[in-house]
């Protein structure tokens, strides 16, 4: 608490760190990509976090900058997904699913660095009858690549409107929890994601960011062939107002 903390994030994790920092009186610094949506930048600042810009979304520059700030200022580095405490926190989503829908048979999870997916996987470890499926943008298919290779591999570049899922590789710790348990990854296009954002808003009254809507995009696109109760995890609502307006009125 005396030293303060630093993390790298495209937005949602950074806002969480800034919120906790404000709550406990801990100075927080969030290294964000230069193209980060203004709504996420302002969210970090609103919670009292200091924003430092570096590189593109989920680029090595962000990690390097965060580590440099940690050394220079003596800050404690909080990884965005490759840490057991972060994974355990995200795993509570899996516990909520079991509590509310004990008969669930399929869980669709958005995939960035794999923290949320691995947390839910750990939470459902005693339920092999439940299929856990990762969903990712087609231009950021790092889970698909990892499943094919049998290990995490780094993509040369990623892109698309789902800015929170553009990580170039699955984290090592998430992979250790995912490997052997998650056997399927689905990829969705920007067009499919946009339609999901629109459907969620028009039909369900939900304001979901593109990164959070990929699971519904897979379902609407017919890629999900599941028997029994299916859960689609929606992992964020921090969307640029201009982009959201374009997607819901398209």
- Would you list the DSSP string of 101-119? -TTEEEEEEE-SSSHHHHH
DSSP string of the chain? Answer: --S-EEEE-SSHHHHHHHHHHHHHT--EEEEE-TT--HHHHHHHHHTTPEEEE-SSTT-HHHHHHHHHHHHHHTPEE--SSSSHHHHHHHHHHHHHHHHH-TTEEEEEEE-SSSHHHHHHHHHTTT-TTSEEEEEEEGGG-HHHHHHHHTS----S---SS-GGG--SS--HHHHHHHTTT--EEEEE-HHHHHHHHHHHHHHH-----HHHHHHHHHHHTT-----SEEEE--------HHHHHHHHH-
pLDDT bin (cut points 50, 70, 90) of residue 58 is low
pLDDT at 45: 96
Does the model's pTM come out above 0.75?
yes
The predicted model gives 53-68 an average pLDDT of 84
176-232 residue pLDDT tens: 999 999 999 999 999 999 999 999 999 999 999 999 999 999 999 999 987 789 999
pLDDT at 189: 97
């Amino acid at each position: 608490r005396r030293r303060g903390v630093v993390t790298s994030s495209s937005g949602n994790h950074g806002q969480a760190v800034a919120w906790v920092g404000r709550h406990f009186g801990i100075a927080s610094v969030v290294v964000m990509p230069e193209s980060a949506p203004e709504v996420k930048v302002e969210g970090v600042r609103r919670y009292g976090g200091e924003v430092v810009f570096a590189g593109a979304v989920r680029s090595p520059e962000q990690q390097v900058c965060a580590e440099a700030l940690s050394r220079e200022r003596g800050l404690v580095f909080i990884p965005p997904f490759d840490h057991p405490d972060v994974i355990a926190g995200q795993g509570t989503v899996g516990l909520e699913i079991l509590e509310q829908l004990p008969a669930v048979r399929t869980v669709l999870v958005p995939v960035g660095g794999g923290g949320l997916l691995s947390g839910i996987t750990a939470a459902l470890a005693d339920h092999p009858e439940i299929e856990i499926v990762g969903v990712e943008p087609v231009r950021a298919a790092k889970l698909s690549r990892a499943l094919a290779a049998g290990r995490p591999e780094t993509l040369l570049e990623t892109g698309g409107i789902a800015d929170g899922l553009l990580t170039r590789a699955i984290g090592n710790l998430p992979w250790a929890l995912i490997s052997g348990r998650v056997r399927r990854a689905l990829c969705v296009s920007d067009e499919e994601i946009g339609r999901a954002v629109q459907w969620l808003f028009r039909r369900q009254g939900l304001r979901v960011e593109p990164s959070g809507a990929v699971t519904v995009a897979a379902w609407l696109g017919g890629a999900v062939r599941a028997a029994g109760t299916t859960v689609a995890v929606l992992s964020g609502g921090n969307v640029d107002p201009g982009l959201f307006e374009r997607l819901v009125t398209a």
